[in-house]
Amino acid sequence: MTKTQTPSCWKKWGPYLSERQWGTVREDYSPHGTSWDYLSHDMARSRAYRWGEDGIGGFSDLEQRLCIGIGLWNHQDPILKERLYGLTGQEGNHGEDVKEVYYYLDATPSHDYLKMLYKYPQAAFPYQQLVDRNRIDKSHPEYELLDTGVFDENRYFDVFVEYGRPDPDDILIQVTIVNHGPEPALLDFLQQLWFRNTWSWGRGGESKPRMKRSGSQSMAIHHETLGDL
């Protein structure tokens, strides 16, 4: 650590992006206070969050203004896999719940190294099956993703996401994808970078930040609070 670097410098960036923003009290605009059912996963892809964002293997600045995450498509799903799937309070027989398989493998206190693993099926993700099988009464156990058989014959991808920072503002990303199935399988990968919309809600006249390509392999980013990156 140099003289200009303090422990707080390293906490400017970290794993602050939510696992899920849908179905939480933070995004409740329901007329009768039904916060756990108001904004479902199915609605999330067509709604703008106000108080946060979500993503898979997410990374962001401390106030979640500039967000980093991944997108996946197995050529079977009707939607891009870019946030964890789960049920609202009324959809799940044991309340709201995320129905995914993922692990956080490593992390340092300064967030200069992070590693997680997300397991993505090669068959169509069983969205409706998970809803239907969890509508039974509470005397039955929860019906989880592993119960659907979508991982049979190891037909899934391991998606390892790693973040490394040699300096507080220097973010390196490595994604390693392993096909565990018995045959070749298609997978599209998308590295995502986006701003949380804080400028449309009247927060002190904040202007919309800018992001543009500045060269063949570089990008210029300007945010009033974060500055030029």
Between 82 and 220, the higher pLDDT residue = 82
Between 225 and 55, the higher pLDDT residue = 55
d(CA 26, CA 53): 11
Categorize the per-residue pLDDT at 81 as very low, low, confident or very high, splitting at 50, 70 and 90: very high
Q: Residue 3: is its pLDDT beyond 60?
A: no
d(CA 27, CA 105): 29
pLDDT at 109: 95
| 25-59 pLDDT, tens digit each | 888 888 988 887 888 999 998 988 989 999 999 99
Q: Residue 157: is its pLDDT beyond 90?
A: yes
Give counts: helices (H), strands (E), the chain.
4, 13
d(CA 73, CA 75): 6
Q: Residue 122: is its pLDDT beyond 60?
A: yes
Summarize the confidence of residues 81-105 as an average pLDDT.
86
| 165-218 pLDDT, tens digit each | 999 989 999 999 999 999 999 999 999 999 998 888 766 567 788 888 776 666
* 94, 142 Cβ separation under 8 angstroms: yes
Q: Residue 219: is its pLDDT beyond 80?
A: no
pLDDT at 214: 72
pLDDT at 217: 65
d(CA 172, CA 164): 5
Q: Residue 1: is its pLDDT beyond 50?
A: no
pLDDT at 64: 92
